Structure 1
Amino acid sequence: MANTDGLTAINACVIIPTYNNAKTLSRVLDGVLAKTSHVIVVNDGSTDATGGILSQYPTVIRIDLPSNQGKGSALREGFQEAVARHYDYAITLDSDGQHFPDDIPAFVDEIAENGMALLIGDRNMNQEGIPGKSSFGNRFSNFWFRFETGIALSDTQSGFRLYPLKEIRDIRFYTKKFEFEIEVIVKAAWRGIPIRNVPIRVLYDPNERVSHFRPFRDFTRISILNTWFVLVTLLYIRPRDYFRTFKEKGFKRFFFEDLLHSEDPPLKKSLSVALGVFVGISPFWGFQTVIVLFLAWILRLNKLIAFAFSNVSIPPLIPFIVYACLEAGTFVLGQPTAASGFNWRQVDTYRPYIQQHLTEYLVGSFVLGTFAAAMGGMLAYLLLNIQSSRRTSL
């Protein structure tokens, strides 16, 4: 008799997408059915003996797709069925025999102890028999997932997972192949759904396992998806999160908590101020947020501080900044000042004047940006050290 106590406690089912894994399917099903009778199998257009094997398991909910659509499509079909049957969670595992159904209770226990989350099985990628391409692909995926979400995981590619169905059912998904498993965790993280790893075992048996991952095509799809996610992260997600922080804390609280009282040393914070001021004054109009966040990430500086000070070029200050850049450029290049035709009080005089003196403006922007960044960074360093000394003396 199947032990359903654990999965029933969190109202979960198991979804198994399968495509031409007749060698291992029976063993996987027997192992899962020993844990629960709430099983959904999505036959993704298999052309081997999969259909006949499934007919031997009449208690399993069976979905047959007319043709092979891809793992993402199979999972989405399984999720729809699980939601229709009012399950709260769905545990997914592959049918190629690499996962151990005996690890299912680990997912249930994690939810019971620590609350709702999207859980991903954490495989030991250093054990003997793990293909090198799998280990590399996992590291590659972990890196981009952390960049896109800020969440550090040790395994983002395992197909042994637990999904909170209510929390993800309103998310719009577009991918249908292997890249779906990346799309779902990134978008879930953007929605604020906790993402955690759960230790699991894994078996790679070259005599039984059939992999349908096509390195060139699927890796290209994954790379394109990650490129899009990086752009969305830089252009929308990061600014959205920063603005939410500002809105929640207000400028005064942000200044004292995130600038003065953070754990970053004064040098790192002052360099972040300098970077923000430089990018804010430099002629990167329209791309300042993307550039400052990217450079802060590359240089390992405080992204929030750099972003905040990049907004030095707020509308009320733009006329003064443009005028100062033009004057600085003409001074550095030794050009005579052509002030006629420019009025910093009249916005409609900016464009023709800048076009006429573009070289001076560009040079002046970088010169003024460098000078202001140096002054801002040194002033921030001085104030931060004074503040640190006062706290130490208390």
Structure 2
Amino acid sequence: MQQLNCCVLIPTYNNAGTLKRVLDGVLEYTPNILVVNDGATDRTAEILSDYAQITTIHLPKNKGKGNALKIGFAEALKAGYHFAITIDSDGQHFPEDIPVFLDALEQGDTRNALYIGARNMAQSDVPGKSSFGNKFSNFWFRFETGKRLTDTQCGYRLYPLKEISALKLHTPKFEFEIEVIVKAAWNGTLVENVPVKISYDGEERVSHFRTVPDFARISVLNTWFVIVAIFYIKPRDFFRKIKKKGIKKFLIENVLKHNDPPKKKALSIALGVFLGIAPFWGFQTLLVFALAVFLKLNKAIAFAFSNISIPPMIPFIVYASVQLGVLITGEDISFSMESLTENFGALKHLKTYIIGSLTLATIASVLFGAISYLVLILTAKRKIVTDNG
């Protein structure tokens, strides 16, 4: 704890029945403890008065766990700590797991890491609503960040204080613990699980999680994060990856040499091309990621090829779509490329354009998919021959 400049941060609210045991357990490992009393109305203040060696912050009014954690992080950083391990005061966490977080930090490749305790959610005393809520949270965290975790809701965590202080965090209650890990992952912090023990003593433990309002707040937050992820984070990360590697290297490493089988890659390319050409303007990115996840295809490849409809290509795609629509419907439409680029006159005939656009998207996706599949198959065979000498 001393070498890593780490403290233990304990937010507490009306957990007088378990607080003393938690404090005594943590003190066996470190005196670097900071407690934030979030406006408790029970014996919390009286209990804390017996621990002069512990830094305590007493908030006059209960404003939520997220608010208490933010205040605690700021105080810990001000005191010179680099990391903070958060542990709940309701007795569900075991202080003897503190070394698990320290070992993970010491053995990891980076100190810019946020470690979350991974509970055994299959043990008999875990409430059903906790297990469901965790699975729900894990799913959305993966969608929003691309990172798979087994537990995203455990409050037993190690935070890198400097990196967390750089984030713009707004939520005040339980949803804060979702906000902070999603934004940390978006900002480049490694977010990983470490195994911890858990105790759900129904007689002793007091939980302040309100199922309906708190779950609703978390759902609203996840809805917003999904929108941000689709329209900003995923495109940002994609273009950063291309910029860093270069287009040629990106195609070789992320398309040709990716571990996905040729069929999956080709179908991902076909999906991207189809949605890039089809008349789903404004919703292409959303549809690409949603369908890629639903169909279990490669999201990066599908998104890359959906960009076939970049601005310089749009007039040509619209022109070809209208011409195909004319062939199919027999409707007589006369226009030039000049009028198309100036006022999109062809879009006055929306039905013809949509029919032609969907036809062009289908033809192009089949061609791109088939050609890609053949190229990928030949590349794979050539690689096998080369590897075998």
Aligned partner letter, 1:338: I
1:103 corresponds in structure 2 to 97
1:374 corresponds in structure 2 to 366
Distance 1:207 1:119 in 2: 29
Distance 1:389 1:158 in 2: 46
Within the candidate set 307, 318, 329, 2:314 is matched to 318
Superposed displacement of residue 154, structure 1: 1.1
Matched, 1:263 2:259: yes
Distance 2:312 2:162 in 1: 46
Distance 2:187 2:145 in 1: 10
Relative distance call for 1:369 and 1:350 in structure 2 (3 A) is farther
Distance 2:196 2:374 in 1: 50
> 2:346 touches 2:353 (CA, 8 Å); kept in 1?
no
Distance 2:163 2:341 in 1: 50
Distance 1:350 1:387 in 2: 45
Aligned partner letter, 1:190: W
Scaled by the length of structure 1, what TM-score is found? 0.95
Distance 1:317 1:301 in 2: 25
> 2:322 touches 2:346 (CA, 8 Å); kept in 1?
no
Superposed displacement of residue 135, structure 1: 0.9
Matched, 1:189 2:181: no
> 2:319 touches 2:340 (CA, 8 Å); kept in 1?
no
What pairs up with 1:144-155 in 2 under 5 angstroms?
144-155=140-151
Bigger shift: residues 216-225 or 261-270: 261-270
Bigger shift: residues 211-220 or 118-127: 118-127
1:4 corresponds in structure 2 to none
What pairs up with 1:1-394 in 2 under 5 angstroms?
7-114=1-108, 115-116=110-111, 117-335=113-331, 337-339=332-334, 342-355=335-348, 357-394=349-386
Superposed displacement of residue 331, structure 1: 1.9
Q: Which runs of 5+ in 1 are unaligned?
A: 1-6
Give SS of 2:122's match: coil
1:345-388 deviation line (CA, Å, top 9, x unaligned): 34454433312x01101111111111111111111112222222
Distance 2:144 2:46 in 1: 43
Give the share of equivalent positions with the same residue, in percent.
57
Q: Which runs of 5+ in 2 are unaligned?
A: none
Aligned partner letter, 1:392: I
Give SS of 1:362's match: helix
Give SS of 1:177's match: coil
The alignment covers a number of residue pairs equal to 384
Distance 2:223 2:208 in 1: 23
Aligned partner letter, 2:370: M
Aligned partner letter, 1:127: Q
> 2:65 touches 2:172 (CA, 8 Å); kept in 1?
yes
